[in-house]
Amino acid sequence: MRRVLIVTYPFFPFYHVGVKRVAKLCKYLPRFGWEPIVLTKDWDRDLAPEDAFFPSFREPERQRDIGFDLEVRRAAYASRDNRALRWHRRLQAVPARSPLALRVAAAAARKALSLAYPLFGDFPDRYAGWLPAAAAEGAAAVRDRDVAAIVSICPPVSAHVAASRIASATGIPWVAMFDDLFGFHVGPRGPHGSTFRRRQALAHHRRWLRRAAGVTAITPAMLSYLKDVYGQDGELVAVGFDPDEGTRAVGLAGAQVPARPRMRIVYTGSVYLADYRPQLFFEAVDRLCLQAPRWADRLEVCFAGTRCDAELRDMVKGRPAERVYRFVERLSAADAIELQRSADALLLFNVTNAAAASGTLSFPAKTWEYLDAGRPIVAVPSDVGRFGDEVLARTRAGIALSSVEEIVELLDRWLNEWARTGTVPYGGDRNVIAEYGQPRQVGTLARLLDRVTSDRRTAGGRIA
């Protein structure tokens, strides 16, 4: 059993989708001969204002789901005093109605200060205060525990930077996992703003990734980007679903849905209004209820854990189909899975802006739980990267639709079948769906680790 150091910024005692991802890697890596050691920040001592970005809930007991006593190394965190960044923002905020001389002076000062980017401010991201301690603690862990390889997970970007520093200090191979590109996206619509900043960021990113012996990504489009921009070949490692969670849930996949007076369509998880188009679905439900008013009393659409209930309520307020919607605040992971499996059908919103800073070439992680739930899926709209549409078609678990007319036709067909039989048609192929389970996906990562460590031995201690 060889040891692998997993570098991740978010981790227990808090729990959210990023922590869950790491926990599942830890759970299944030993099946393939790799013992994980996690390097994270000291979350009990070093909570910072910038950590509000992560929707974290304290659930330390979930670490027991990994199935063994996991070794966790924690690094201290120090928020940086971004005085230069604060001045830069103040200079940007000089009102347009200010005297010309003041605006000219502010612009000149701002441009001069920008020359120091990325030596100040939120670079590589707002969590840069973690990097010095993380690099030192990680290098110590490699030496103390005879670690054979490093894996880091983005987001955030700083996890990859820490891993790059550890790999440089120790000489062991490092695999960079991209669950999202985040700051590594350097296009015009990415997070780095001006052409000057994008060029600087790209130079630093290439320098860091030069140490990587391999990369993984969660979509083919993301892999292509890493190849084209950073020259990194990689493997597709989807987030996947944990089949153990399905067997613990109430109602196994494909089981009979309890009888109820309304056909229930369920959406679980966050809704990112800047990147999704829920209006498309709302318009379709309105049209359905206007065309066939009887369905307004036979349909329920449940949103659970969206983190934007107030905004969604405002979006459906006063609509013809307002009464079909129900909103549930945060659910535990287990309750979300049970809600999915008790649904008649599942709703998915695809990212519509492939270059959005919060969802670059990405794909909704909840898709995998949806597949395991054994319920028909409607995705709105089609996936801009096509990967999501291909997964639904390949597994025969659902369909992606981009027009109001298509959604209305599907919902009407579902409701007619549900009124007649009490179920919604479903033809998912469980054998194909199983390929997206976490055991198989982690197996792909483990084979990559086997390969890069073998390459290093072949090269006489150097990364080949």
- Give residue 81's pLDDT: 67
| Residues above pLDDT 90, as percent of the chain | 62
Residue 358 in any domain: the answer is: yes
Q: Residues 54, 103: one domain? A: no
Cα→Cα distances 33→1, 19, 28, 263, 455, Å? 5, 22, 10, 46, 17
Q: Residues 104, 176: one domain? A: no
Asked if 399 contacts 426 with a C-beta cutoff of 8 angstroms, the reply is: no
- Give residue 457's pLDDT: 58
Closest CA to 73 of 39, 113, 109: 39
Q: Residues 70, 214: one domain? A: yes
Residue 181 in any domain: the answer is: yes
- Give residue 7's pLDDT: 98
Q: What is the 3-state secondary structure (H, E, C) of 239-303?
A: CCECHHHHHHCCCCCCCCCCCCCCEEEEEECCCCCCCCCHHHHHHHHHHHHHHCHHHHHCEEEEE
Residue 463 in any domain: the answer is: no
Domain count for the chain, please give it. Answer: 3
Give the whole-angstrom CA distance, residue 69 versus residue 62: 12
- Other C-beta atoms closer than 10 Å to the C-beta of 321 total 20
Q: Residues 293, 332: one domain? A: yes
Q: Residues 332, 234: one domain? A: no
- Which stretch of DSSP H or E encloses residue 94? none
Phi and psi at 372, nearest 5°, equal -70, -20
- Give residue 210's pLDDT: 94
Asked if 433 contacts 397 with a C-beta cutoff of 8 angstroms, the reply is: yes
CATH number, domain containing residue 251: 3.40.50.2000
Structural domain that includes position 95: 83-114
Q: pLDDT tens, position by position, for the chain (464 residues)? A: 999 999 999 999 988 888 999 999 999 999 999 999 999 999 988 888 888 877 667 888 989 999 999 999 999 988 766 777 778 788 888 888 889 899 899 889 888 887 777 766 678 888 988 999 999 999 999 999 999 999 999 999 999 999 999 999 999 999 999 998 888 988 777 777 778 888 888 999 999 999 999 999 999 989 999 999 999 989 999 999 999 986 554 444 444 556 689 999 999 998 988 888 999 999 999 999 999 999 999 999 999 999 899 999 999 999 999 999 999 987 777 888 899 999 999 999 998 765 544 445 677 888 999 999 999 999 999 988 888 999 999 999 999 999 999 999 999 999 999 999 999 999 999 999 999 999 999 999 999 999 999 976 555 444 33
Give the whole-angstrom CA distance, residue 143 versus residue 104: 54
Give the whole-angstrom CA distance, residue 306 versus residue 312: 9
Q: Residues 227, 254: one domain? A: no
**CA 165 and chain centroid, separation:** 24
Residue 345 in any domain: the answer is: yes
pLDDT tens for each residue of 438-448: 999 999 999 99
Residue 134 in any domain: the answer is: yes
Q: Residues 257, 288: one domain? A: yes
Q: Residues 61, 100: one domain? A: no
Residue 464 in any domain: the answer is: no
Q: Residues 254, 274: one domain? A: yes
Phi and psi at 301, nearest 5°, equal -115, 115
- Give residue 463's pLDDT: 38
Q: Residues 416, 329: one domain? A: yes
pLDDT tens for each residue of 370-391: 999 999 999 999 988 888 999 9
Residue 23 in any domain: the answer is: yes
Asked if 242 contacts 373 with a C-beta cutoff of 8 angstroms, the reply is: no
Q: Residues 99, 198: one domain? A: no
Residue 216 in any domain: the answer is: yes
- Asked which of 95, 114, 133 is the last residue of a domain, the reply is 114
Q: Residues 305, 342: one domain? A: yes
